[in-house]
């Protein structure tokens, strides 16, 4: 698992690669929370290179979404592979977190 | 240093030579003044044991061998009974290999020879203290590991203690559930709840994350679900109530996926609401199977005020419903392949569906056979409902 961060103006794009499960979800949380600075106004999490996410990983996404929600910072996900998309659909998280097909779509909406 | 009353290390000098105390205080005056070493003195082994009994913070015993009442070699044998968290350094006559050998065999850490060379003594003391520090650090991290292990054992016990081990005997159907917990976790649970008019509440759930917090979250989820199930009719309303209660105190953003259904044997109807859980599989006597629809739900604990939908199907005689957690379908073998839904479906052939218990045990066995030597990361939970044959 690896998180790479790019800044597009005040929109933070975090690209997550590999697998996120209970063995590395704490590390995932640290990397993600650590990347989000004070002056960010939107966060886009690009899951294009994410092979697998377990419920422990979903918890981190939910935690970050809740924390950002309290700060009025928008959060969205993009480029989900079919298996990852299905995890978000079954858990119902696609109903509470905005998901876009591509990073460009997510950035346009966040812009 | 820091605390002037408490030196960094305390050394007990045991010798029947009365001049030694004055000599040590004089030669070690700088270390004493800096607060590095503090010294205690005893005239023989018996006095030394009295000091060690009274003062538990001695780090080093520096002892002569030949003394009245109790000699240094006997003292070495007695020390561990009074204090095992110190190291002994023996003072012997030059070339007295026999006593030195005996002392080392009795647990002395090092030795110095008479007449005492104080430069050499200081080197020996420093070396002994370094060793003692490392030893204490190793002990501390071992204690921490033991504490973590105990915590995980608690999680496992909480998880196991709440699972039903008796299943209702109801005309027209049978129910069974089992779980193989992964090492040191607490995530899954299932429940079978007796409702009025012979109906049965069936729940299977999976808490995000592991360990004691997850086990406690699971415990309260299960209790809330049971309470709501008895008082509220519709499965969707049950999940809504549990979700709202779980959201009242949930800073850690934990959540639990729950499938909850109510089966009425008199009509063979299963009414269900899916709170973000992987959908159960309905297996028919001809070996075909399909997943129950998602009901537009959401994992419980995520956000308050969510409205949970529900759906209803009528089962046929001989149908088998398999409720499970994603530990079953996402089990990984040594080649990193997933067990998957298709493997689960392919376990059932044309002909009579297996009995509830037989089916649940067959599924968990198949998953474990598939996983082989690969470590089990997630709990495996399987609950089955089988409608009686006509």
- Which tens digits make up the pLDDT trace of A77-111? 999 999 999 999 999 999 999 999 999 999 999 87
With a cut of 70, say whether residue B1 has pLDDT above it. no
pLDDT per residue as tens digits for the range B225-279: 999 998 898 999 999 999 999 998 777 788 999 999 999 999 999 999 999 999 9
Q: Where in chain B are all domains bearing CATH 3.40.50.2300?
A: 9-142
Q: Where in chain B are all domains bearing CATH 3.60.40.10?
A: 162-387
Quick one: average pLDDT of B284-305? Answer: 95
Contacts of A62 in chain B (CB under 8 A): 253, 255, 302
What domains are there in chain A, each with its CATH number?
2-110 (3.30.750.24)
pLDDT per residue as tens digits for the range B269-288: 999 999 999 999 999 999 99
Contacts of A96 in chain B (CB under 8 A): 298, 302-303
With a cut of 60, say whether residue B189 has pLDDT above it. yes
Range B162-387 classified under CATH 1.10.3720.10: no
DSSP-based three-state secondary structure for A108: helix
Cα–Cα distance between B374 and B371 in angstroms, integer?
A: 5
Contacts of B292 in chain A (CB under 8 A): none
- Which range has highest mean pLDDT (B69-73, B155-159, B181-185)? B69-73
Quick one: average pLDDT of B85-99? Answer: 89
pLDDT per residue as tens digits for the range B11-27: 999 999 888 899 999 99
DSSP-based three-state secondary structure for B227: helix
Residues shown for chain A: 111
pLDDT per residue as tens digits for the range A51-81: 999 888 999 999 999 999 989 999 999 999 9
- Nearest residue of B to residue A94, measured between CA atoms: B298
> What own/partner pairs with CB < 8 Å and gap ≥ 24 does B25-28 have?
B27/B118, B28/B118, B28/B122
Nearest to B134 by CA among B142, B124, B123: B142
* CA–CA min distance B277, chain A (Å): 6
Q: Do A62 and B253 touch (CB under 8 A)?
A: yes
Contact B381, B189 (CB under 8 A): yes
pTM score: 0.73
- Nearest residue of A to residue B255, measured between CA atoms: A59
Instruction: For chain B, positions 203-232, list CB contacts with chain A under 8 A.
Output: 206-210
Mutate which: B189, B208, B252, vs A, most A CBs within 10 A: B208
pLDDT reported for residue B11: 96
pLDDT reported for residue B359: 97
pLDDT per residue as tens digits for the range B193-224: 999 889 999 999 999 877 777 888 888 899 99
* CA–CA min distance A111, chain B (Å): 26
Q: Does B269 touch chain A (CB under 8 A)?
A: no
Strands (E), B302-359: 311-314, 320-324
Contact A13, A107 (CB under 8 A): yes
In this structure, which topology does domain B9-142 adopt according to CATH?
A: Rossmann fold (3.40.50)
């Amino acid at each position: 698992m690896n998180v790479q961060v790019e800044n597009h103006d005040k929109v933070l794009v975090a690209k997550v690669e590999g697998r996120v499960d209970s063995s590395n979800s704490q590390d995932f949380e640290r990397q993600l929370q650590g990347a989000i600075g004070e002056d960010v106004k939107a966060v886009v999490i690009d899951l294009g290179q994410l092979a697998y996410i377990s419920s422990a990983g979903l918890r981190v996404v939910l935690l970050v979404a809740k924390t950002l929600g309290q700060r009025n910072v928008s959060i969205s996900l993009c480029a989900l592979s079919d298996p990852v998309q299905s995890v978000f659909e079954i858990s119902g998280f696609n109903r509470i977190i905005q998901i876009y097909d591509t990073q460009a779509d997510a950035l346009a909406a966040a812009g | 240093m820091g605390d002037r009353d408490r030196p960094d290390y305390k050394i007990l000098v045991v010798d029947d030579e009365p001049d030694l105390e004055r000599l040590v205080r004089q030669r070690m005056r700088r270390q004493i003044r800096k607060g590095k070493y503090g010294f205690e003195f005893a005239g023989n082994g018996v006095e030394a044991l009295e000091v060690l009994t009274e003062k538990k913070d001695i780090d080093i015993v520096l002892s002569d061998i030949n003394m009245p009442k109790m000699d240094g070699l006997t003292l070495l044998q007695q020390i561990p009974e009074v204090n095992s968290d110190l190291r002994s350094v023996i003072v012997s006559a030059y070339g007295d290999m026999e006593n030195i050998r005996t002392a080392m065999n009795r647990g002395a850490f090092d030795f110095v020879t008479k007449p005492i060379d104080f430069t050499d003594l200081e080197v020996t003391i420093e070396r002994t203290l370094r060793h003692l520090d490392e030893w204490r650090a190793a002990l501390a991290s071992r204690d921490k590991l033991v504490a973590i292990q105990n915590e995980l054992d608690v999680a496992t016990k909480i998880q196991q203690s709440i699972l039903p081990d008796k299943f209702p005997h109801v005309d027209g159907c049978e129910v069974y559930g089992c779980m193989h917990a992964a090492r040191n976790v607490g995530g899954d649970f299932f429940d079978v709840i007796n409702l009025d008019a012979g109906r049965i509440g069936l729940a299977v759930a999976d808490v995000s994350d592991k360990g004691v917090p997850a086990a406690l979250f699971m415990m309260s989820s299960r209790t809330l679900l049971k309470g709501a199930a008895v008082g509220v009719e519709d499965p969707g309303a049950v999940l809504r109530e549990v979700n709202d209660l779980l959201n009242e105190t949930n800073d850690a953003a934990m959540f639990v996926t729950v499938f909850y259904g109510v089966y009425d044997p008199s009509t063979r109807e299963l009414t269900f609401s899916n709170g973000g859980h992987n959908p159960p599989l309905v297996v028919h006597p001809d070996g075909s199977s399909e997943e129950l629809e998602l009901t537009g739900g959401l994992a419980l604990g995520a956000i308050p005020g969510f409205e949970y939908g529900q759906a209803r199907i009528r089962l046929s005689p001989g149908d088998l419903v398999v409720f499970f957690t994603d530990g079953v379908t996402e089990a990984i073998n040594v080649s990193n392949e997933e067990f998957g839904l298709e493997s689960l479906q392919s376990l059932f052939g044309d002909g009579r569906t297996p009995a509830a218990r037989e089916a649940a045990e067959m599924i968990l066995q198949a998953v474990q056979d598939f996983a082989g030597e690969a470590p089990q990361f997630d709990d495996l939970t399987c609950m089955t409902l089988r409608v009686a044959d006509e």
